[in-house]
A and B are shown apart, each in its own frame.
Chain A
């Protein structure tokens, strides 16, 4: 009869012995996580609810929001031709990035490979535009794209070709998105290339050599060995690139403000114009929420779809 009591006494005393440590650990955990959660709740979660509240009002930011209009803001956004244009332009940038910018970065990363002499030099140069701020990038390229050949370098080169006239570039409704995409590629392909180069470093050289010995040519090796093994890196760059394209703002704002005639409007410039130029904060909140939903839908679907076996992890 006594034995279990001794046992439970023993356990109790042991718990008592350990509990100060436990309590201390719990305090540590809470204190250590607190700052991160405060930032998260205060600047990510709470703002969304606040925007959700104001999105139901017609509010210009002065005084309290009193003019409740229900979902009218959302109705107006989704039927506004300019916003639709913005969404389409964002999608255009997404498609172009995935079809041109990422493949270019991947091709260059494979070309530089693991052991090309001067590899570090090229990496330093190619990544440099990423470090230059968007404002500066925008200003530099605005002057390069200047329609006057006396001032714009690209037109100065173009007029050297016989029969070619100076182009309007950023001032031309049909050229402006292409120009913006050139600048985006200039600035961001280095980031993706850097990530691919790091991914390549993680792939054992032997795997590619084995494929070569088995008679695969260079192209087959890249297609069937290298690229599948880069899977997780490629997934990351696709996600970065799509989210970046959907929310592109500074470069376009600096270079065109969404013009000419809304030809380069994207969701973010639309949101900025309504929120901070026209100061329709209720409407701007609604635009921000629509953007947020679009980004979340993409992220969630993509994470679902792209969860593929991690080949490298299984080696």
Chain B
């Protein structure tokens, strides 16, 4: 009898905190998801339904809002612009950062620490602080209203953080590999290109995924640089659309959902890379 009693008490003692843990976590899960779900549901209602019952599940679902957005050519233009900016800045960040972090992790030269510290100074001022000065320079270069300027600026402000992440990964590759390659007559570039890059592919995927998300969501850079609406990226277009159609909440919800969807789907697939990139930067930094 006594043993059964203590056993039971033990399980209660163990299970009870677990219950509260899950309770707290579930409440927060709800707080995170409800805003997103309301938006997705709202997009599946007609304008009238949205007004009469804004918070009920959309039964039956109306896909007209989505169809209407998808049939708007400007949506596709903006999507295309976002993709161009994202691919451009991600490619540039990958190239610039892997070249530089290879040098910092693998070559010996005077002033190395100083050069590295200068390049990661960018971590101290986020782009919001610098956007006004950067605008002046972009204007001087005659690059206002070009996607190229967006790509260059996004790349410039992606360097510091990604350099820090990538140097850590490069340093972790054993030195013996480099010695072996050099003994076999490999040049520094050959070692970098043929041996190191294939080895750090997961790290490249990590900073690539991170840069893609940041570029995709970037609002301030295109806002300041792009005036022509044919060049707008999705965040700009979303803001504009919301202002224009604020009375039609269902249609706005559809637009917002469609422009959020690529990032969320990408996140669900690339979560591991994004997480490893972020945590490598934070913990080593």
A residues apposed to B, CB below 8 Å? 24-26, 28-29, 31-33, 35-37, 39-40, 42-44, 46-48, 50-51, 54, 108, 111-112, 116, 118, 122-129, 131-136, 139-141, 143-144, 150-151, 153, 156, 186, 190-191, 194-195, 198-199, 202, 232-233, 236-237, 240, 243-244, 247-250, 254, 268, 271, 275-276, 281, 284-285, 287-289, 291-292, 295-296, 299-300
- CB neighbors of A among B18-74 (8 A): 21-22, 24-25, 28-29, 31-36, 38-39, 51, 54-55
Q: Is the CB of A132 within 8 A of B260?
A: yes
0/1 string, B91-107, CB within 8 A of A gives 1: 00001110110110001
Q: Is B188 an interface residue (CB 8 A)?
A: yes
* Extra 10 A-B pairs, beta carbons < 8 Å, given A25-B107, A128-B36: A26-B109, A47-B134, A112-B21, A136-B260, A143-B38, A198-B275, A244-B126, A268-B128, A288-B131, A292-B130
Query: Distance (Å) between the CB of A103 and the closest chain B CB?
Result: 14
Q: In the complex, which residues of chain B have a beta carbon less than 8 angstroms from the beta carbon of A135?
A: 217, 219, 235-236, 238-239
Which residues of B, 107-151, contact A by the 8 Å Cβ criterion? 107, 109, 115, 118-119, 121-122, 124-126, 128-137, 140
Asked if B271 and A124 sit within 8 Å, CB to CB, the answer is yes
Chain A hits for B34, CB < 8 A: 153
B155-163, B171-179, B198-206 - interface stretch? B155-163
Q: Judge whether A32 and B103 touch: CB under 8 Å.
A: yes
Whether A150 lies near B51 (C-beta < 8 A) is: yes
B180 on interface, CB distance cutoff 8 Å:
no
A249 to B99, CA, bound (A): 32
Pick the contact of B256: A136, A248, A271 (CB < 8 A): A136
CA distance A86 to B264 in the complex (A): 33
Q: Which of B31, B38, B118, B259 contacts A136 (CB 8 A)?
A: B259
State the Cβ distance, B259 to closest chain A Cβ, in Å.
7
Contacts of B97 in A (CB 8 A): 36
Question: In the complex, A300 Cα to B121 Cα: how many Å?
Answer: 11
Q: A199 vs B183: C-alpha distance in the bound complex, in angstroms? A: 39
How many B residues touch the partner, as a band?
35 or more
Judge whether B83 is part of the interface by a CB distance below 8 angstroms. no
Task: Tell me the minimal C-beta distance from A207 to chain B in angstroms.
Answer: 17
Q: Quick check: B235 and A133 within 8 Å, CB to CB?
A: yes
Can you list 11 A-B contacts (CB < 8 A)? A40-B122, A46-B137, A118-B25, A127-B271, A132-B263, A136-B256, A151-B249, A153-B55, A195-B283, A285-B132, A288-B133
Chain A binding surface, main DSSP class = helix
Q: Are A198 and B38 in contact (CB under 8 A)?
A: no
Interface string of B223-252 (1 = CB under 8 A from A): 010000000000110110010000001001
Within the complex, the shortest CB–CB distance from A158 to chain B, in Å, comes to 13
B216 at the interface (CB under 8 A from A): yes
B157 interface neighbour in A43, A127, A285, Cβ under 8 Å? A43
A247 contacts B128, CB within 8 Å? yes
Bound complex: CA of A9 vs CA of B126, how far in Å? 55
Question: Given the complex of chains A and B, what is the CA–CA distance between A35 and B101 in angstroms?
Answer: 12
Any A CB within 8 A of the CB of B278? yes
Contact partner of A292 (CB less than 8 A), chosen from B129, B187, B224, B271, is: B129
- 10 closest A-B pairs (Cβ-Cβ)? A47-B133, A43-B156, A133-B217, A198-B279, A51-B133, A247-B128, A288-B132, A36-B100, A299-B124, A32-B99
A40 to B90 Cα, complex, angstroms: 17
> Which of A124, A126, A285 is B136 in contact with, Cβ under 8 Å?
A285
- Our pick among A118, A236, A268, A289 for the contact of B285 (Cβ within 8 Å) is A236
Chain A residue nearest to B102 (CB atoms) is: A32
**Contacting pair B156 A198 (CB below 8 A):** no
CB nearest neighbor in A for B281? A236
The reply on B76 being an interface residue by CB < 8 A is no
The residue that B132 contacts in the complex, of A36, A233, A287, with Cβ under 8 A, is A287
Complex contact A24–B187 (CB within 8 A): yes
The answer to the question of B16 belonging to the interface, with a C-beta cut-off of 8 Å to chain A, is: no
- Structural contact, A39 and B130, CB atoms closer than 8 A: no
Asked if residues A36 and B99 are in contact (CB atoms below 8 Å), the reply is yes
Which one of B249, B263, B271 lies within 8 Å of A133 (CB-CB)?
A: B263
Is B220 located at the chain interface by the 8 A CB criterion? yes
Interface 1/0s, chain B 253-268, versus A by CB < 8 A?
A: 0001001100110111
Complex: how many Å from CA A36 to CA B136? Answer: 21
